Chains A and B, each alone.
Chain A
Amino acid sequence: MKRVAKFLVAVGLLVGAVTGGTAHAGGAEAEIRVRVIQATNTGKKFDPDLEDLRKFLGQHKFSSFKQVIDERLTVKEKETKGLGLLSGKNLNVTLKSLTKEKATIQLLLLGQAGQILDTTVAAGPNKLFFIAGPKYEEGVLFIAIEPRYDPDQIGQVDVGAVKRDDKKP
């Protein structure tokens, strides 16, 4: 009987680990999903992995869309994570602040010749936006960015961050 009890406890722990693993571990951090898409006019193909983005990508004048990177960066508040893109480009992602309402993210896109883009955006949980335009081979790159976090896991509203945003022209 003891062995049965031990086995059930082990199964319970396994289930707990699997299901609990998706929960927020504590502290302000967000998972930022970065998908890099190569858009060209060579051929006509739409990557099935991009089906959820078809509505947004399909309106552009490219005939072929292929996902080349799908990365999930877990970034703590004030932390920067870098992601190597294609042809020597780099994307540095800094989580400047995180509240229930929004994640404020600085995105620094660097090319071989230096800075291509430096932008700061505030996006709510699971919102989607794109950086587009960096050239790659015969087309351009679309970078789909999606901050993912559970607002209920975030402790307090970062009033300071809201005020700072309000001061922007």
Chain B
Amino acid sequence: MTTLSCNKIEELIAKVIDREALDWEVDAVKTHLPTCASCTELRDGMIELGGFVRSDIGSAVANADFSGLMAKVDAGIDRAAARRDSDRMKSLLFSWPAVTRWVATGAVAAAFAYALFLPPPRDFATQDNRIEVSSVEGGADNTVMIYESQDDNVTFIWVIEDERAL
């Protein structure tokens, strides 16, 4: 049998009243109380105080209106869900990864639009390249020859600096 001091028993009395004490603690309190008037008085005071508290809570619960409780709980859950969705949407649209994603998408769209409006590559080999040469004048030591290829539809203005170059 464990014998404890009054100070320790006072701590245990509260645990016993609150039904939190271990079996040996309950036994120790039961053994101690018949031999100690002050601890017995303390135990009785605590029980009386607990009764007051319980009676107040009981009457408060009895008088309370719980009819709208579940509706309020549901509304709270809905608000939390809406806030979570809103945060997710903000993160999806305006977070840094989202901005980089938007910028990348914009760049791809711009490149696509640019490619769409680019003129097709020229095919000089098949197009008519004829031009008009309205004046031509070589330098003092040069000869200039204009060669227009009928087959190729292209004009060469040859500058003959030295005939060996040809």
Contact = CB atoms under 8 A, between A and B. Distances in A.
B131 A121 contact: yes
A119 B165 contact: no
A102 B166 CA distance: 31
Contacts of B158: 132-133
B76 to A, nearest CB: 27
Contacts of B110: 11, 14-15, 18
Given A165-B132, A168-B134, A113 B139 contact: yes
A139 B162 CA distance: 11
A109 B93 contact: no
Interface residues of B, number: 45
Interface in B121-158: 121-125, 127-142, 144, 149, 152, 154-158
Contacts of B165: 133, 135, 139-140
B96 interface: no
Nearest to B148: A129
Contacts of B27: none
Nearest to A147: B131
Contact of A122 (B113, B134, B154, B159): B134
Contacts of A146: 122
Interface in A1-23: 3-4, 7, 10-11, 14-15, 18-19, 22
Interface of B: 93-94, 102, 106, 109-110, 113-114, 117-118, 121-125, 127-142, 144, 149, 152, 154-162, 165-166
List 7 A-B pairs, minimum CB-CB distance, nearest first. A133-B159, A11-B106, A123-B131, A119-B136, A122-B132, A55-B125, A115-B139
